[in-house]
Structure 1
Amino acid sequence: MDQKIIGRKEKISLPELGLRLVWAKVDTGAYTSSIHAENLEVVELDGKRVLKFQPLLPGHKAYTGDEVFFEHFREKKVKNSFGQAEVRYLIETTFELAGESYSAEFTLSDRSKMRNAILLGRKILKNRFLVDVSKVNLARPYRTK
């Protein structure tokens, strides 16, 4: 399988979240990927339990304020960047990077104190990408082909 070379920061799209070409930090130290989410709430919709939230922070360039709904979600115990275990919601969604579309899991968390609202962990990267930490936006040439 051909691995594409990406940089330490890349622009990705998350169509099911209504996000197009948003900066994401590539973090080979993190296992799972995560997205900043606001106003997370499990609600009942047409007799089903659904996770409702707003992706990104108000003030983020790509923030729309739109609520998104996920029927397929679960809770997962993860270690945060400070090494403390916490329970987060996990969704499976499609992300687009380097001209390709992939299915991947993202945890939803409060990343308001972090510089990047989206983090791509090594579970997503494995067997798909090689990371050149000295560069950013290397996926762009793949997108324009």
Structure 2
Amino acid sequence: MKYSTKLSDTIHILIFIALGDDEQLSSTKIAESIKTNPAYVRQLMATLKNAGIVVNTQGHANAALAKSADKITMYDIYRAVEGDKPLLHLDTDTNPDCGIGINIQFAIGDFYHEIQNMVDEKMKSITLQDIIDRYYFKIRKVKNL
């Protein structure tokens, strides 16, 4: 099973933009850092633009944050790229003739919902600025080793 990396890739893009120092950031340059293709970066950028998280002129390498990094939450970013998709997923392809197979999904679904609510609240408390601050903290820590 392949896990989605959209959230981390999108945060990577946003950090690139936030720390870009007015540098011309093409989708090709960002894609090299993420180790992906420029079309994927453009797709994520379009999603961020539609969500009001970034502003840019199509066809130009001039993306900027639409608001300050301390006003953009991880929840905003997650919902922009993943929509209403939850973090945890039930296996909906179980045997309907098996009492455990069908009913276990209902049982764990309640807990998944509870976990999702906790995760949503935590993501709402983490801003892009928090991630940038942690990024700089990690760099300082590595330099001191």
> TM-score, with normalisation over the residues of structure 1?
0.28
Q: Look at both structures and tell me which one has the larger radius of gyration over its CA atoms.
A: 2
- Which protein has greater RCO, CA pairs closer than 8 Å, 6+ apart? 1
More helix by share: 2
